[in-house]
A and B are shown apart, each in its own frame.
Chain A
Amino acid sequence: MKQLSVFIRKEFFHVFRDRKTLLLLFGMPLAQVLLFGFLLTNEIRNAKVLICDYAKDDASQRIIEKLKASRNFDVVQQKPSNAAIQEAFRKGSISLAIVLPQHLAYDLEHNHSAGVQIIADASDPNKASTLSSYATNTISAYQAEINMPVNGPRIDTEIRMIYNPELKGVYNYVPGVISLVLLLICVLMTSIAIVKEKESGTMEILLVSPLNPFLIIISKAVPYFVLSVVNLSCILLLSCTLLGMPMQGSLLLLYFESSLMILTCLSLGLLISNVTASQQAAMLISLMGMLLPTTLFSGFMFPLENMPMPLQLIANLVPSKWYYIIVKDVMIKGLGIRDVWKETLILAGMTTVLLLISVQTFKTRLAS
């Protein structure tokens, strides 16, 4: 017990004396949450849109007024010509062009139908589809205003965005950032902390001492476990107060699930430290081997449903995927353990397997 306490004390000295790492540890997650929360929203504002008004009648004027009023668009008007549109797209000075044809008002009134052309720069497909749907919505709003008579029965679709009615990006990013940060601290920092002892030769001294080698692992894990929980609390506090992230479910459950995730990551870190001999190698494996798949496969950047089957299967092996689902379920949907037990079980299974493998490799290394 005494050995463990002096060892853990030493580990905290290491952590707190390394100012740069400490800054990175706490600064990076907070910066990420703020960045994702405030700056990176899916909403597009002030997109340059070119309007070619061939109609120049009442209808076209009112549509243009509406477009101008929208904060999504920054309207540029020009003498209507096809060449002008093409030129503007080529130069990249606009992202969208709307062509209002001649006799727009007349067609609407007499034929009950008129065509408006929307041209989008689809070199960025997401932006193109978002902008064209904004434009369509604006034009439909005008249509609703003039109360256009419709022939035959009409289906009204009513859309309700549940759990996230305002479609806030934060709901998506915060759970993602939490999984990333836990991964980064636990895997990267633990593996580096252990490999550091190998590199500096102190590991040999520790192994020659009567210290139980498993105490080395535990002592390395404890500080990073504590740091991770502190970091998690900071992120939660920040996202719930500043970014309006909800906390619908049980906080206790969230911490329990997070502890499980931290344990998974610690085992991964240990495994990496067993198979590498230098800090650089440990860092490279942690970053390339862990961070990349987590970003790709946890589902927070790219929807998993869109991936080809083999990649979806691979995604199942990424612990963060399951953790990400749990965090969203608990924080946003307010679900309890009864609804996330499956994911919890998977995560627990992964932790057990990883822990067994890493302890086994540690033993083998000791025996050589």
Chain B
Amino acid sequence: MNREVVIRTDKLTKQFGDFIAADQLSIEVYAGEIFGFLGANGAGKTTAMRMLCGLSVPSSGTATIAGYDVYSQTEQIKKHIGYMSQKFSLYEDLTVRENIRFFGGIYGLSDKQIKEKSALLINTLGMEQMAAKLVADLPLGWKQKLAFSIAILHDPDIVFLDEPTGGVDPITRRQFWDLIYNAADRGITIFVTTHYMDEAEYCNRISMMVDGQVKALDTPANLKKQFNVATMDEVFFHLARSAKRKGD
């Protein structure tokens, strides 16, 4: 694997008053890898992710995303990342095509690019029949796949996925992960949070957050070996048990 680092954080910290939501995170994510970002609810994943996306200014520490600094170059960062939130977040009262057009537009794609890309996207997902339908009328699985495809419409260096498969059935989840692999093969780095441990197994490397700190970071195989357990579930339990913070 190509070892170019696309996300590098050093002692990245976010503090709200007395509460340290993210405590001295130091991680490196390589280009083209699928990086699982795990942790119990309330462990600080969302805060960390918001800093990496340029949505929230860190309290201390440094971080570069796709080579840009999170303090001074958030505009550049935003151009080079994609984001899909845990809440389903396309416009329900717009059609599939209109959603693609809108998001293409705000990422500054030209009309020609948007036209080509939406044709390709609709074709790849097999959504020809649904392209003129309102997104509200699509089944959840399709919505999620569409949301992901739109998040990478502008060919970002990195895409952040915040619990992208919440509430969808196993078959759709499987299809969703096929999309993720495809994107990774195209060289897009995937930074994904999930609560499904089978999905953690799909990742190249994972990090595990407990009480605002990264307690473990390695490949799933190595982690299982390190804790001497058979499944990722057990790795998760082993680490999350030590948490002092209550989940939300």
Contacts and interface: CB of A to CB of B under 8 A. Distances in A.
Interface of A: 2-3, 5-7, 9-10, 13-14, 17-18, 200-202, 204-211, 367-368
20 contacts: A6-B101, A6-B106, A10-B91, A10-B98, A13-B94, A13-B98, A17-B93, A201-B85, A201-B89, A202-B91, A204-B55, A204-B83, A204-B89, A205-B83, A205-B85, A207-B55, A208-B54, A208-B160, A209-B107, A367-B57
Contacts of B103: 205, 209
Contact of A18 (B79, B81, B93, B106): B93
B93 A14 contact: yes
Given A13-B93, A201-B88, A210 B105 contact: no
A14 B106 CA distance: 17
A7 B106 contact: yes
Contacts of B93: 13-14, 17-18
B189 to A, nearest CB: 16
Given A2-B108, A14-B93, A209-B78, A368 B87 contact: no
Interface string B208-242: 00000000000000000000000000000000000
Contacts of B107: 209-210
A57 B22 CA distance: 99
Contacts, number: 74
A146 B51 CA distance: 93
A3 B89 contact: no
Interface in B35-65: 53-57
A10 to B, nearest CB: 5
B97 to A, nearest CB: 11
A205 B105 CA distance: 13
Contacts of B128: none
B56 A368 contact: yes
Contacts of B79: 210
B89 A208 contact: no
A112 B81 CA distance: 98
A209 to B, nearest CB: 5
B102 interface: yes
Contacts of B160: 208
Nearest to B98: A13
Contacts of A209: 78, 83, 103, 106-107
B82 to A, nearest CB: 8
A221 to B, nearest CB: 17
A211 B107 CA distance: 7
Nearest to B162: A204
A206 B106 contact: yes
A204 B85 contact: yes
B75 interface: yes
A63 to B, nearest CB: 68
A245 to B, nearest CB: 37
A209 B105 CA distance: 11
A10 B85 contact: no
Contact of B78 (A6, A13, A210): A210
Contacts of A6: 101-102, 104-106
Most buried by A among B89, B90, B98, B101: B89
B113 to A, nearest CB: 11
